[in-house]
Structure formats: C-alpha cells, structure tokens
Amino acid sequence: MSRRVLVLPLVVVVAALTGSTLTAQPRARRGAAAPAPVPLFEVHEKSIAELQAAQTEGLVTSRQLVQSYLARIAAYDQAGPALNAVVLLNPKALEEADALDRERATRGPRGPLHGIPILVKDNYDTAGMPTSGGSLGLALLQPTADAFQVQKLRAAGAVILGKTTMHELAAGITTVSSLTAQTRNPYDLMRVPGGSSGGTGAAVAASFAAAGMGSDTCGSIRIPAANQNLLGLRATRGLSSRTGVMPLSDTQDVAGPLARTVTDLALVLDATVGPDPQDAVTAGAAAHVPRSYRDGFAGATLKGARVGVLRALFGTAPEDDEVGAIIRKALDAMKAQGAEVVEATVPGLDDLLAESSVIADEFKFDLAAYLARHPGAPVKTLGEILDRGLNHDALEQTFRLRNQPTVRESEHYRQALVKRRALRAAVDAVLEGQKLDVLVYPTLRRKPALIGEAQIGTTCQLSATTGLPALSMPAGFTADGLPIGIELLGPAFSEPALLARAYAWEQAMSPRRAPFSTPPLVNGAAPAPVVRLLTLGTPAAAGGAAEASLRLTWDLTTGALRYTATTTATDTLALAVHRMDGARVGPIVALLLMRGQPSAQGSLTLRGRDREDMAAGRLVARLYTARAPLGSAPVPLGPAAP
C-alpha cells in the first residue's frame, strides 16, 4: 500500500495528536512537570446533532473536533488497519475551525453544521487543496475555486477536513487508483469498500468525519453506503449541482452525501441542494427543496407504505442467495412495521437497461472540457494520461475503450438516450399505476468483493438511467459480518418521503453497527494489542501430565492474532483451537501445534464470526497428546478485554 505525504504541517499533526493548541505557551521551569495534554473529545459514532449540542453546551470547540478526527485518521488511515481512505488533509482546517469558534462566541452558530468537520471526495474542486480524481496524472491539479456544494458547506459553517480516496477518475466500484492504490473496507480489511466514493464511505464508517461527500454516476454513492452500513442518496437529477465536480458523464453524474444516520444525511442535504446558475439541470430545483428534509421525520412510519419489490434486480444465481435472503428478511421486517409489500414488474426492464449507460459515450469529452477550464492542469485529456502511463493497470482496458469514441453524438449514444426516456416512462407508469411509494431491491446482489477481484451484482443503472432518486440504507449483515444495503427508488423529487421512510426504518431497526477496525481511541491512540498468557494441561490420570503454554497478542484494529505456543509433551498430536457450540466443544478452526512439534509461532487473521467468538470467549484451546488423545480441558482464548 502506498504511503502519501499529507499536506498538513507537522506542527498541526502534533497538535492534533496531543490535543494541544498552537498558541504560544510559557516555557516550563527546569524540572517542572509538563502539563498534561487536553483529552480528546470522543467523536466515535457521534451524530452531527450530538456534536452540535456539545459545542452549544461548551463541552467542545470546533478546533477540538478537528483535532479528534485528525487523531483518528492518524491512528487508523495509514497505521493500524491502514484503511487508506484519506488522500490529503486541509492545511487550514484548524485555522478555519478557530474562526468558526470565534464566530460562535460573538454571533452564534450559522446552523446545524457550524463547526462540523466534513470530508469530500477528491473529485470535488477545493481552492485550498489539489483535486486529483484519483489520478497520478492530476495529483497537482489545483482549482482556483471550490465546487458549488463545497461553497454551500462552507457557507453553512462546516469545516472541510480533507479529501478522500476514490476509484480512479470515478471509473469503477472497488476504489483503486494510480494515486492512492487500494482502499480497504473497515468491516473486513481483505475486502473492497465499494466505489467510486469508497474513500468517503470507509472514512465516514470509521468516524474520520461527521459525514462525507461523494458522487454517483452508477452506484458510486450507494454502493459504498451499502458496503459500510451507511446511508447514501443519489438524488433526483437536477436537485443538486455538479459544478466543480470532475465529471464522468454529464448525463448521469449526481453529487451528494453519505452519512451514518438519516438525520445526518438530511442535514447535509439541507445545506447542499438547490439551484446553481452554472449547472443548467438545477434550474427548477428550488421548487422541490423543502424547508428542511427533517420536517417529515416527526411521526414517520412505514405503516401504510406501498413497497414494490423489483424481483428482476435480485438475481437468480446461487451466489446471489446470501444477499437475497437478507433483503427478504428486511422486507418481512417492513411488513411487520405495517408496510404493504407487493410484487412489482417493469415491462421490458432488462432490454431497456441494456446499453442505456452513456458513460462510455461522454467520459473522454466531459473530462477534456473540465480540464480545459483548469489552465494549470498537468494533462489535458484521457488520451494523454494513457500515453504517459499515468493510470493504474486495473483501469487500462476501461480507459482505452472509453478513449475510442471520436464523436459524442454516435448512433449508440442516440439509442441510449431513447432507451433512457422509455425506461423513465415505464418506471413512472409502474409507480403511478400500482400507487407505489417506492421500488425496492438490493443495492448489490453480492457482498463486498475481496481485494483484487471484480465486484459483481450491481443494480446501479436503474436510478442512473431514469434520473429518479434512490436511497441505499442498511438492511443487515452477512454471517461473516459484512454490511448489506437495500435500495429504495421513488418518484422524481420524492427525497423527503424516501428519507422519512428510511428514518422510520432506522428508528425501528437500529441497523447501524460500527466497524471493528476503528474503535474509540484510548488516550488519543488506537487501543493497544491485548496480550494473554494461557496454560493448558492434560490430566495425570491420562498416563502422565503434559503442559502447553500459549502467548496471544490480539490487535483489535486488524484482527491479527499472533501466537507463540510451546509444550512439554514429547508425544504431541495437536494444540487446537475450537469453536464452542453452546456448552459443547465444537469443531477445530485452527491448529497452533501439530504432531511432534514442541513449539511454534505464527499469526491468524480473525474475521467476522471469529472476532465475535474470540471476544465472547467462544474460541478455546485444547492440547492433544498420544497419552491424552481426547484432549485437555478447553481454555478460552478470550474475552479480548477484562
């Protein structure tokens, strides 16, 4: 994994990690005890409302919030689990937070986002930081102005904490790039976070900021939301501006937030939606923006909602069954809450979706137009990036195919636009004809892919083709602890109703579960590995007692369990780890010593169920010898902490 220099002065990093300020301090007398560092405010899993209330009550300042999030990034982004979710940090974040603190003291807060740290995807223009789009060729591209939505966030009082990693030029859903290599999923470090807004998804899930901004051309907000147990909204085309967001496809691009709660998502939407004179598709947005997207939350319920299940997007392969079962269970829960769940069919759906994407038709032309607006851009075209070898190998074939069109208005492009209009009409007819509030289907038909493998099972194109709003919300977890998302698609500009339904679901189900790899900090740092010393013994009645000693070191942030095992036995058969099945010793899950071995050391990676069983004391060790072939009494490896 690549290591990158964050554009944050060292003194700022030190201040963030110690909780100290950057103001001059009187020099301590020789021999005097150094002042204790100010404890960091706990931001892990905190909502925007909680952070705002803490500022109002004087429990924390915006500066201290910035410091707390910087400490988490330092502990977990390139260290520990090494999520690799942050490209760079805002060198003026503390300065901007200080200004907001002064403003709060003299004039009061601007609103709910005053002093709240937010991260933005690295395809949003930022005047004080480069905008790379995940491309090494654009690493030094420095915009002169903020993207429209970034301007609106700053106007609302948010602190732009930094930029997040993304799939190179937004052209994929696993988040790998020539500038930042691979980003990891905080729920399973061997799996992808989704994409292309994978860095934002991983960072928000890991509490690196209160919320984050992404973009969605075909699933790039919704897929990372699903893979990280988050909320992600692809809004109706024309509700939010794309000005200053590096394009993938003007026809399909949408920019917007990801958050840990529905309320947080609504607060960021409140600040960022609306008309932008520079983005023509937003001309009518003002007529569809409510006073607040939170207004519909009071009394929100699923009772009486008509939910149309779009089975055509569930998939029929055996590999789709695991996710399908979780979605079906979620639908049963919706029924239990009073929703009317019915089957829905869009006539000709497969044919209308096929070849309806216009990304390949528009990408090279839209990117070149964007780069032309930045005179200092290091490269000017997709072709130049390819000619100079400034792209990741994983994108080589995709980029070469997308660099082939010689004209934008091809026959394929014209036919795709016809299909898009036809599919929009067909979906509108189903929603209206069956009086449906939403259509539902899995955000992905498969769980997050292993790093290096392709992500299969996306259903992203329905919203991207129709321009209708789609919200991904948490549906549940797989047996191995991976989040799964369910997508709700509604009529044009039905965001208030979608959010209200999601809020009712959230209140009833409490689906949010923090990732294992980024727990609360301890004294400003990641929790120290847990060390356990165990002794196992076979009974003397078995023909001679034998002992084994086991030293375990468990890193809670990576799941790595390092062990050193030794035994006095000369007739060792095995030192085995079992999983308990209630009161019964269950099957063997690992061997630490094998036949004839007096000692061994190594490492296991505990994933999903294994981590939970370790913490609960359900993983046990037993020593087996020729004189005690049925094993010693089981000794729990955990719990991980007292």
Instruction: Give residue 362's domain range.
Output: 48-509
- Which of these three, 509, 542, 572, is where a domain ends? 509
> Is residue 319 a part of any domain in this protein?
yes
Instruction: Output the pLDDT for position 540.
Output: 62
Report percent pLDDT > 90 for the chain: 92
Interatomic CA distance for residues 242 and 233, integer angstroms: 15
Same domain, 562 and 439: no
Residue 602: both structure tokens together: 């190594």
**How large is the average pLDDT for residues 132-137?**
98
Does 380 share its domain with 450? yes
Residue 525 forms part of a structural domain: no
pLDDT at 272 over 50: yes
454 shares a domain with 539: no
Taken as a whole, the chain contains a residue count of: 642
pLDDT of residue 541: 54
DSSP one-letter string for 333-397: HHHHTT-EEEE---TTHHHHHTT---HHHHHHHHHHHHHHT-TT-S--SHHHHHHTT-S-GGGHH
Q: Answer whether residue 23 shows pLDDT above 60.
A: no
Residues 498, 538: one domain?
Answer: no
Residue 427 lies in a domain: yes
Condensed to tens digits (0 to 9), the pLDDT of residues 409-458 reads: 999 999 999 999 999 999 999 999 999 999 999 999 999 999 999 999 99
> What pLDDT shows up at residue 9?
35
Burial class of 126 by CB neighbour count within 10 A (0 to 12, 13 to 18, 19+): buried
pTM of the model: 0.93
**Is 401 contained in some domain?**
yes
Residues 485/472, Cβ–Cβ less than 8 Å: yes
Q: Are residues 476 and 584 in the same domain?
A: no
Q: Which of 228, 230, 234 is nearest to 214 (CA)?
A: 234
Query: Is pLDDT at 345 greater than 70 in this prediction?
Result: yes
pLDDT at 177 over 60: yes
Average pLDDT of span 554-569: 96
Q: Is the per-residue pLDDT at 559 higher than 90?
A: yes
For the segment 6-16, the average pLDDT, to the nearest whole number, is: 37
pLDDT at 538: 78
Say how many CA atoms lie within 13 Å of 607 toward its Cβ.
13
pLDDT for 4 beyond 80: no
Q: Distance between CA 409 and CA 119 in Å, rounded?
A: 36
pLDDT at res. 130: 98
Domain assignment of residue 491, yes or no = yes
* pLDDT tens by residue, 387-397: 999 999 999 99
As a whole number of angstroms, the distance between CA 84 and CA 185 comes to 9
Q: Encode 499-509: b = buried (16+ Cβ within 10 Å), e = exposed.
A: bbbbbbbbebb
Q: Mean pLDDT of all residues in the chain?
A: 93
Give mean pLDDT, residues 565-586: 95
Domains contained in the chain, number:
2
CB atoms within 10 A of CB 93: 24
Query: What does the pLDDT look like over 348-361, one tens digit per residue?
Result: 999 999 999 999 99
Q: Which two tokens stand for residue 165?
A: 């990693």
Report the range of poorest mean pLDDT among 12-26, 59-73, 95-109: 12-26
- 503-551, pLDDT tens digit by residue? 999 999 999 999 999 999 999 999 999 999 999 997 765 555 789 999 9
User: Quick check: is 33 in a domain?
Assistant: no
d(CA 85, CA 73): 9
Question: Would you state the structure tokens that stand for residue 161, as one six-digit string?
Answer: 């904490």
| Residues 223, 314 share a domain | yes
User: Average pLDDT in the 308-334 region?
Assistant: 97
Same-domain status, 344 and 480 = yes
**412 and 554 together in one domain:** no
Confidence of residue 24 (pLDDT cuts 50, 70, 90): very low
pLDDT at 25 over 60: no
210 lies in some domain: yes
pLDDT tens by residue, 40-97 = 999 999 999 999 999 999 999 999 999 999 999 999 999 999 999 999 999 999 999 9
Q: Is residue 19 part of a domain?
A: no
Assess whether pLDDT exceeds 60 at residue 465: yes
Same-domain check for residues 349 and 433: yes
CATH at 290: 3.90.1300.10
Catalytic residues: 121, 196, 220
Domain finish residue from 509, 542, 575: 509
| 220 and 191 share one domain | yes
Is the model's pLDDT at 143 over the cut of 90? yes
445 and 400 in a common domain: yes
Q: Tokens in use for 409?
A: 């208005």
Count the helix, strand and coil residues of the chain and give each as a percent rounded to the nearest 5.
30, 20, 45
Minimal CA–CA distance to 121: which of 169, 165, 77?
165
Residues 298, 383 within the same domain: yes
